[in-house]
Amino acid sequence: MILLTGVAGFIGMHLAWRLLAEGHEVVGVDHLGPCTAPVAASTFARGLKERRLAEIGGARGLRFRRLDVTEGGPLEDLFREHRFERVIHLAAQTGVRHSSSHPVACVTTNLVGLANVLECSRRHGVRHVLYASSSSVYGASRRLPFDEHDPAGHPVSIYAATKRGGELLAHSYSHLYGLPTTGLRFFTVYGPWGRPDMAPMLFAGAIAAGRPIEVYDGGRMLRDFTYVDDVVEAVLRLAARPAGAEPAFDAARPDPAASHAPYRIYNVGNQQAVLLSDFIDALEDALGRRAVRLPRPMPGADMAATCADTQALRQAIGWTPATPLRTGIARFVEWFRHHGACHA
């Protein structure tokens, strides 16, 4: 049996679909709180998590429990009720910019929530914990592509700091209790039913409605856009491979992505650094409309560029994300025309 936290989130919804379709027993939890401000009040964002749950459908066999992972007592009761073999922890307070104005909420959800999941997992004999980290942990680094074996000690946002802190917390549990943990550094995930605070949804809604879009740093920001189905495939393949100790681990030159303990970190990205302006071009072409672009300076919490080195992922599972941007954008726009446009 698998516990999936954040099941009503963007990635959680798509992952639940695949797990249930493949016949897994899944208990999904989510607190169904509002989406990240300031878009929480938008028409599309209201009730988004409930609509995602409805799309998953009760007929598929999902056992849903409304629960906040920051509340240790109810989470402990859930673990006592079920014998989870694997835990996939996606519940989080998302949003790099949002974390700057809501730091305590971000720290509480992302660190206390993870701590509760890890503690319950070790107490109840879970065989493997996978948890969502983020490409944002690379912070001020300008060395591209980002490599898990490089240090990630200079976060530039509160969100990034909580994600890097979560990785360190997971390592402690792997070292102290032998709990296998795998951290997944996701790179700018996009696709159908995506987050309303992310560029694909914000831009598509504005372009479709004829509203201007804010373009930071003249569109020169670079992002490794990763299609959600590729992310799901990586998670599924890694879930079946509990992290193990690295036999060649050298304590004199420690590898940040591996350990003497059963601990691993992987980049999950498309290995392509795409200019924001090129991303907007692709979105315009798929929508058949031009955007009105308003130049804006880049926020201090944003990174100038991201790009994933996924060699370690390929070595581990024999596969790596590769959906071309325009293919992914076409799939997203097809969904948007049927589900998102009416809420834009």
Q: How far apart are CA 65 and CA 27, in angstroms?
A: 7
- Residue 314 is encoded by which pair of tokens? 């390929």
H or E segment at 186? strand 181-186
Residue 282, domain member (yes or no): no
Residue 158, domain member (yes or no): yes
For the chain, what is the domain count?
Answer: 1
Coil/strand/helix, residue 66: strand
pTM over 0.85: yes
C-alpha gyration radius of the chain = 19
Residue 67, domain member (yes or no): yes
Q: Is the peptide bond before 262 cis (omega within 30 degrees of 0)?
A: no
Residues with Cβ within 8 Å of residue 331, at least 6 apart in sequence: 191, 192, 227
- Would you give per-residue pLDDT tens digits along the chain (344 residues)? 999 999 999 999 999 999 999 999 999 999 998 655 455 445 556 688 999 999 887 546 899 999 999 999 999 999 999 999 999 999 998 877 677 677 899 999 999 999 999 999 999 999 999 999 999 999 988 899 999 999 888 988 999 999 999 999 999 999 999 999 999 999 999 999 999 888 899 999 999 999 999 999 889 999 999 999 999 999 999 999 999 999 999 999 999 999 999 999 999 999 999 999 999 999 999 999 999 999 999 887 778 899 999 999 999 999 999 999 999 999 999 999 987 655 55
Residue 246, domain member (yes or no): yes
Residue 202, domain member (yes or no): no
In single-letter form, the type of residue at position 132 comes to A
> Using N-to-C axis directions, what is the helix angle for 113-123 and 158-177, rounded to 10°?
20
Q: How far apart are CA 224 and CA 295, in angstroms?
A: 21
Per-residue confidence (pLDDT) for residue 40, from 0 to 100? 45
Residue 132, domain member (yes or no): yes
- The CATH number of whichever domain residue 43 belongs to comes to 3.40.50.720
Domain that holds residue 93: 2-189+227-269+308-322
Per-residue confidence (pLDDT) for residue 43, from 0 to 100? 53
Among positive and negative, which fits the CA dihedral 323, 190, 182, 306? positive
Per-residue confidence (pLDDT) for residue 58, from 0 to 100? 57
Cβ–Cβ under 8 Å, residues 191 and 138: no
Residue 220, domain member (yes or no): no
In 48-127, where do the E strands start and end? Answer: 63-66, 86-89
Q: List the catalytic residues.
A: 159
Picking from 81, 60, 85, 75, the residue whose alpha carbon sits closest to that of residue 30 is 75
Residue 283, domain member (yes or no): no
Q: How far apart are CA 132 and CA 55, in angstroms?
A: 23
